[in-house]
Amino acid sequence: MINPDYLASFLLASFLMAVAPGPSNAFLMAQTFAKGRHAGMQSAFGFALGGVIHTFFAVVGLSAILKASTTAYAAVQYLGAGYLAYLGFMMIKESVIKTAKPVKNEQVMGTEKQKNVMFQAMMTEVLNPKVALFFIAFIPQFVDPTLSSATFQLAFFGLLYPIFAFPIDCTYIYFGDKIALFFRRNPNSQIWIDRITGLVFIALAINLLL
């Protein structure tokens, strides 16, 4: 049982948070620009899976550990930043290789580039302690103690957020792909798109640390 008033408030707040530009949107747009709409969709699915994992963590209390322990928070924070920085450097490295060695089979390379995008997005979400704190600080506000189990309500709202945010992410991807298509018509633009995407990932890593 869910309080209808709390549900309406949750959906409104979730909409505003999902629409507002942030690190997740930047990651989605960067992947869409660099690798196309399919990669953007995989990123959106990866973020949704990350939200499911964070919901599980919040329900079983693991997120509370991050909130209570500065050491645990810092450890996850550094892991997340390191992973984003690694992705950024790899994309810049690939663009340099492309400049030295033109790609002969672009279709094969495109498939190779995209196969791990969903996993990368999921890990980026899971290793972001700010997202963990979002789930443990934001979602409980909509739990009605007079109704059914608080655990059920936490799980309900936690799983509803990524489901609700997914179509909004798809909108970002759709328009991002339209913009990227304009740049892809220039053969050399993809190399610069990859480099800019790599720099975006590195900037996200720095932002996570700060």
- The pLDDT tens digits of the residues spanning 156-202 come to 988 999 998 899 999 989 888 887 777 766 666 667 777 777 887 78
pLDDT at 42: 92
Q: Determine which of 8-12, 42-46, 65-69, 127-131 has the lowest per-residue pLDDT on average.
A: 65-69
For residue 45, is pLDDT > 90? yes
For residue 104, is pLDDT > 70? no
> How far, in Å, CA of 117 to CA of 6, rounded?
35
Question: What string of DSSP letters covers 68-100?
Answer: H-HHHHHHHHHHHHHHHHHHHHHHHHHHHHHHH
pLDDT average, residue stretch 129-140: 79
Query: At 18, is the pLDDT very low, low, confident or very high (cuts 50, 70, 90)?
Result: confident
For residue 115, is pLDDT > 70? no
pLDDT at 190: 66
For residue 110, is pLDDT > 50? no
- Which ranges constitute the DSSP H helices of the chain? 4-19, 23-35, 37-60, 62-68, 70-100, 106-114, 117-126, 129-137, 150-184, 189-209
